[in-house]
Amino acid sequence: MNFTRTEIPEVIICEPEIHGDHRGYFMESFRKDRLEAFTGLPLHFCQDNESRSARGVLRGLHYQLPPYAQTKLVRVVEGCVWDVSLDIRIGSPTFGQWVGIKLSAENKKQLFIPRGFAHGFVVLSETAVFSYKTDAYYHPENERGIRFDDPELQINWKLPETALTLSAKDRKQPLFREAEYFEPKTALYE
């Protein structure tokens, strides 16, 4: 597994080593020891989630507040998405900045998104199966979101807005300046 820091250093691209031959391929999709060594954070993933979506479906931007804040390790097992992480950590030098990366079944890249980031993705292929690990269980009372189209953030979703399909909930999320931010000291890693 190879790791590369993005423009926001805490968000990390994870690229597995692919061993392929005439039969197909083999890869390690997760190695706790190597990811912990690279991030310097203890990892305790406890829940795996998966969604299937059609082209243009945008899910996000989502996060959970402490004490149920989540670290995520996300990947695409079928199709292609544009994946976005938005820094909502109060006091961070990259507060309010976002990073995007194309994740696909073909490139097999994954994204490590620590606590303190809002996350979302849009499907670029005909369909996509999106899979991710979290280190805290889903807790609806602590779930929050930020508007995908906030003009202050200027997130490039790679598709025109007329091609996007969102849930009613995601269309009504607050703007970034109205959202509840993440206080890092309240959600230390244990």
Closest CA relative to residue 135, chosen from 11, 37, 46, 14: 46
Return d(Cα 79, Cα 106) in angstroms, integer. 8
- 132: annotated active-site residue: yes
Helix, strand, or coil (residue 186): helix
Write down the catalytic residue from 62, 63, 119, 138.
62
Q: Which residues, other chains included, contact 183 with Cβ-Cβ below 8 Å and sequence gap of 6+?
A: 66, 90
The conformation of residue 162, written as its DSSP 8-state character, comes to: G
Q: Which residues, other chains included, contact 95 with Cβ-Cβ below 8 Å and sequence gap of 6+?
A: 87, 88, 89, 181
Q: Count CB-CB contacts under 10 A for residue 104.
A: 18
- 62: annotated active-site residue: yes
Write down the catalytic residue from 63, 68, 132, 181.
132
The residue type of 163 is A
Q: Which residues, other chains included, contact 71 with Cβ-Cβ below 8 Å and sequence gap of 6+?
A: 41, 43, 45, 112, 113, 114, 115, 134, 135, 136
Helix (H) or strand (E) holding 33: helix 32-39
Question: Active-site residue numbers?
Answer: 62, 132
